[in-house]
Amino acid sequence: MKKVLFFCGVFVLFISLKPLNTAETACYGGFTSMQTDTLFQDKISIRAISIDKNKLWYGADNSRFGYYDLDKKEKFEEHIYRDTLKLEFRSIAQTSKDIFLLSVGNPALLYSVSKKTQKVKLVYKEINERVFYDSMQFWNDKEGIAIGDPTEDTFSVIITRDGGETWTKLLSDKLPTNAKGETAFAASNSSIVIKGDDTWVFSGGKKSRVFYSPDKGKTWKVTETPIVQGKTMTGIFTADFYDSKHGFIAGGDYELPNQKNDNKAFTTDGGKTWELIGQGMGFGYASCVQYVPGGNGKEIICVGSEGILYSQNGGENWTQLSTDSKLFTIRFMNRNTAIAAGYNKVVRLRFK
C-alpha cells in the first residue's frame, strides 16, 4: 500500500440541539450537545466505512480506498487500478484479517485487502450490463453476503463460506422474485442488516419490501412495508436493527428530499410487520440511520438531506444536531462517538 500521510488539523464545532418542530415532546436522558471534529478533507466521495479498533477503513470513488488512524491522526490511501476503469466502492465489510471492497456497476469487482500487509486480491468478478451491487456484510469470520440489483428476476446475492476467499452467486430459484423495477440502494452500505444468523435485505424503487433470512442466506421470506414506493428513486435507502426484534427503516423519495411522510417505519417483531412513525417530523430523504449503542432501541441518528438528526423516542420526534447535508454514512464507535463520511470529508462526532 502506498502511504499518503496527512497530519490533520482538527476543526472543532460545538452545536446545541435545536428542536425541529414545536410539537415535539420532551425526552429524558439523551444527548444535549454535539462536537464535530473534521478528521480529513479531500476531493472524494465516501459511502462505505468500517471501524476496526483505532482505524477507520473506507471505500471511495476513483478506485480509492484506505484508512484513517484515529490514534496517530494519519491517513493512508491507495488506488486499485483495473484497466482504465474508475471504480467506485460503495460496499465495505471486514473479518479479523481482511477488509473487503465491492464496486458498483459493470463489471462488479470484489477485492480483499490484508489488514496486516495491505496486499490486494481480486476474489470475485461479475460481468453483466445490469450488475450493480449495493451492500455487503459478514455474519462471522467465515461467512459473508453481498446483495445487488436484479440481473434476472431476483436480487443478485453472493455468499462466501470460506472467509472471503471464494464467493458464489445464489441461483434465482433460491430467492423470492422481485417486482419489476424493484431494486436496492447503495446510499450508505446499509441495505443489509445482520444480527446473529438473522439477515434483512431492503428494497426500493417500484416496491419497498424486506427480504428476511433466518439461516444466513439459505432460505428467504419477503414482507411488505408502508414506505413510499412506486417510482425509480423511492423506497428504503437505509436500515438498522437494535436487536433481533427492534428495527428501523428510512428513505423516502430522493427526488423530493424534503417530503417527510411515509419515509420512516419501525418493527418490534423482527421485521414481520412495519408501522409508519414520525409522519411530517424530522427529515425527508435519509441516506443512513443507526441506532445509538446503549439507547435501548429508542435513540436513533440519521444523516441525509436535512443534515444530522437525533431521535430519543424511536423515531417519532427528531432534533436537529447539524444542517450539514453532505454526509452519506455514519457508524458508531461507542455510545458517545461516531464517524461519518460523505462528500469531500470524514468527521468524528462526539455526543454529550
The pLDDT assigned to 150 comes to: 98
**CB-based contact 31:320 (threshold 8 Å):** no
Query: What DSSP designation does 124 have?
Result: E
Cell of 22: 414545536
Q: CATH number for the domain including 312?
A: 2.130.10.10
Tell me, yes or no, whether 138 lies in a domain.
yes
DSSP 264-277: EEEESSTTSS-EE-
Cα three-residue angle 156-157-158, rounded to 5 degrees: 125
The pLDDT assigned to 33 comes to: 84
- According to DSSP, the β-strands at 156-160 and 144-148 are antiparallel
Name the 3-class secondary structure at 290: strand
Cα three-residue angle 192-179-236, rounded to 5 degrees: 35
Tell me, yes or no, whether 21 lies in a domain.
no
The pLDDT assigned to 1 comes to: 52
Tell me, yes or no, whether 16 lies in a domain.
no
**CB-based contact 255:263 (threshold 8 Å):** no
For residue 216, give the nearest of 160, 270, 272, 176 by alpha carbon: 160
**CB-based contact 347:339 (threshold 8 Å):** yes
Tell me, yes or no, whether 34 lies in a domain.
no
The pLDDT assigned to 32 comes to: 82
**CB-based contact 97:105 (threshold 8 Å):** no
The pLDDT assigned to 29 comes to: 66
Tell me, yes or no, whether 294 lies in a domain.
yes
Q: What are the average pLDDT values for consecutive 10-residue runs of the chain, which has 352 residues?
A: 42 42 44 94 98 98 98 97 94 98 98 97 98 98 98 98 98 96 98 98 98 98 98 98 98 97 98 98 98 97 97 97 97 98 98 94
Owner of C-alpha cell 408502508: 226
Cell of 87: 471504480
The pLDDT assigned to 3 comes to: 40
The structure's pTM equals 0.92
Tell me, yes or no, whether 64 lies in a domain.
no
> How far does CA 23 lie from the centroid of its chain?
30
| Residue 107 CB neighbours (<10 A) | 14
Tell me, yes or no, whether 41 lies in a domain.
no
Domain total for the chain? 1
For residue 138, give the nearest of 189, 174, 175, 173 by alpha carbon: 189
Q: Give the domain extent around 319.
A: 92-331
Tell me, yes or no, whether 76 lies in a domain.
no
